[in-house]
Homo-oligomer: A and B are copies of this chain.
Amino acid sequence: MVQRRKRLARGVAVIGAGISHFGAFKDKDSRDLFVEAFQSTLETVQKGIDPKEIEAIYVGNLSSDCFEGQAHIAPLMAEWVGLNPRPATRTEDACASSGVALREGIIAVASGLYDIVLVSGVEVMNKLTTARVTDILAAAADALYEVSVGATFPSLYAQIATAHMAKYGTTEEQLMKIAIKNHNNGALNPKAHFNASIRDIMNSRLAKAKERGQPIPSWTDQMEFLKDPSVNPIVAWPMKLFDCSPITDGAASTILVSEEIARNFTDTPIHIIGTGQASDAQALHGRKDITSLNAAKLAAEQAYEMAGVTPEDIQLAEVHDCFTIAEVLATEDLGFFKPGDGPRAAEEGRTARDGKKPVNTSGGLKAKGHPVGATGVGQVVEIWEQMSGHAGPRQVPGVNLALAHNVGASGSTVVVHIFERR
């Protein structure tokens, strides 16, 4: 087998990144949200950019054909932001669709073919019922062996969670603390689907009960609130409602350029110094171990090696918390914590915004939201805002090295990127 140190032919940098509002929008389709994200992206380019300079566009999207009856979305998104006749390509690797678009954009700039590329993601799901969305998403698992026997993603991640519990003693309370942490971050993110902490939600429910003259629930703290099955019902044990990311509509985009021209656009380009991608068996039963995602470990290894950094060096990470247990696996697979130590690390606040290793300062998929095809680039937007000092009340000071971790399905695709401010 060919084994060589992976190198890109030339360096690539981010010069701007923006997202649409994330949420459930009955009256907006991909076109609307894509335009919103694109305009927001242009505004972040410090020295300005003429959109006509953009030479190609990559669009990550999971299933606009099933969700909106619109396939072939890449040239259409290009059309709506005035980028025809530029080459426009959609990538799809389930919920890693735009993480993979990012990788293709990086590769394309590195190849010498383009100097300036728009990388984006978009998904609109809320036109359909939750049941129908769940089915369409389930198709990203193994249709032959998993979906045919009733598997959906909550149930697949529930299996991962119970395996982690059995092996390491992980508790439901520890997972709840991840949801609380991510909601605390989302509360500070004006574009988040849930721009509210668990405490905010609890207080709002208490106030509403009072207002309506209904019996006042006895919750005194947010953990107690989350333990109330009327608030936080089981979806697929041990995954409860607040362990699951929401069905979100949204779009995100970022502009990549070759390193040598980056300072024409901004004084603070963010360099992409590592990229890794790996695949795995589609069905859980095809894997040796489900308390960890092998593809995540391999993708991280590739990215760390290319970047020449270690997990200890990473100062901030956006990871794929489609379910709370997925954040646990991410922080272990990325080498932030030893296998089985993820839950305790979260419990002790080590992944909080003011912790040693801030994870999902955006609110993560849990609170910021999970418009599946937009999630990978959405992570880049948070990293861009943090590294360029525009994260407002979420700002973590002095982030020079950050990481994005984007998972497709139950881990058959994982893509990892490492970003550096120099």
A residues touching B (Cβ–Cβ < 8 Å)?
1-2, 4, 6-10, 29, 31, 50, 52-53, 55-57, 62-63, 65-66, 68-72, 74-76, 78-79, 83-94, 100, 103-104, 107-108, 110-113, 115-116, 136, 139-144, 147, 275, 277-282, 286, 294-295, 298, 408-409, 412-413, 415
Contacts and interface: CB of A to CB of B under 8 A. Distances in A.
A55 B2 contact: yes
B412 A279 contact: no
B91 A294 contact: no
7 contacts: A8-B113, A63-B65, A79-B279, A79-B282, A79-B412, A85-B280, A88-B93
B110 A279 contact: no
Total copies of this chain within the assembly: 2
Given A63-B71, A86-B279, A107-B111, 5 more contacts: A4-B115, A8-B112, A31-B144, A88-B279, A89-B104
A152 to B, nearest CB: 13
A2 B115 contact: yes
B139 A408 contact: no
A12 to B, nearest CB: 10
A92 B71 contact: yes
Contacts of A79: 279-282, 286, 412
Contact of A282 (B75, B89, B278): B75
Nearest to A306: B113
A279 B70 contact: no
Contact of A65 (B9, B78, B139, B412): B139
A384 B396 CA distance: 54
Contacts of A413: 72, 74-75, 88
Contacts of A74: 92-93, 279, 413
Contacts of A110: 9, 111-113
A85 B295 contact: yes
Q: Taking each of A72, A85, A108, which has the highest tally of chain B beta carbons within 10 Å of its own beta carbon?
A: A72
A4 B115 CA distance: 10
A104 B104 CA distance: 7
Contacts of A31: 144
Q: Which 4 A-B pairs have the closest CB atoms?
A: A87-B277, A75-B279, A72-B140, A72-B94
Contact of A1 (B53, B63, B142): B53
